[in-house]
Amino acid sequence: MVVPVEEMRGIIGHRFPGGTYRIEHWENFLVHDVMLVDQSPDKIAHPLYFFHLPVAGLGVTIQDIFALCRADSPDAVRAGEYVWEIERPLREDRTYRVSGEVTDVVRKEGRRGGVMDLVTFVTEISDVTDGEPEGPDARISNMWIFLRGAT
């Protein structure tokens, strides 16, 4: 089913609940171990956290995002563009506040792919371990593609 474009554009500005996420030493150790990489002596978290932490800390699940964007099925969603603006590396044993919102929806149509919606949401990650930060440690922009089928 093709969701009306006006309905999809209506989610622009939707704010996710947000929350916090703490990168524990044991978790960072396991991520490094699985990725076959030695840990940094200065407790820098594995870069994989720039994929995991934005959703884990938003207070929603991937399924919640799919529902918000009216995905027909998990098979009808594709990863699009990811843009990372990193001010400081993420570190273990730190607590990060995560906030985010949907910033754009673009409807496209192709001969082979049919109708699709490109949904962009932006997440800010801020270390709050020692109080309020001066600014975000990272800003992550994700664009996911929701395939709608033929018109």
CATH of residue 74: 3.10.129.10
Lowest mean pLDDT among 7-11, 71-75, 146-150: 146-150
Band (pLDDT 50/70/90 cuts) for residue 15 is very high
Query: What range does the domain containing 57 cover?
Result: 5-149
The pLDDT tens digits for 81-109 are 999 999 999 999 999 999 999 999 999 99
Is the pLDDT assigned to residue 151 strictly greater than 60?
no
Tell me how far apart the alpha carbons of residues 41 and 32 are, in angstroms, rounded to a whole number. Answer: 12
Work out the percent of the chain whose per-residue pLDDT is above 70: 98
Is the pLDDT assigned to residue 55 strictly greater than 90?
no
The whole model's pTM is what? 0.87
Tell me how far apart the alpha carbons of residues 53 and 20 are, in angstroms, rounded to a whole number. Answer: 9
Give the list of residues 6+ apart from residue 132 with CB closer than 8 angstroms, or none. Answer: none
In the chain, how many domains are there? 1
List strands edge to edge, sheet with 138-149: 19-23, 94-110, 114-127, 138-149, 77-86
Tell me how far apart the alpha carbons of residues 149 and 112 are, in angstroms, rounded to a whole number. Answer: 9
CB 12 within 8 A of CB 105: yes
Is the pLDDT assigned to residue 48 strictly greater than 70?
yes
Among 85, 82, 149, 74, which residue's Cα sits nearest to residue 117?
149
pLDDT greater at residue 41 or residue 95:
95
Among 127, 66, 65, which residue's Cα sits nearest to residue 94?
127
CB 16 within 8 A of CB 60: yes
In this predicted structure, what is the pLDDT of residue 121? Answer: 96
In this predicted structure, what is the pLDDT of residue 133? Answer: 81
In this predicted structure, what is the pLDDT of residue 40? Answer: 83
CB 38 within 8 A of CB 20: no
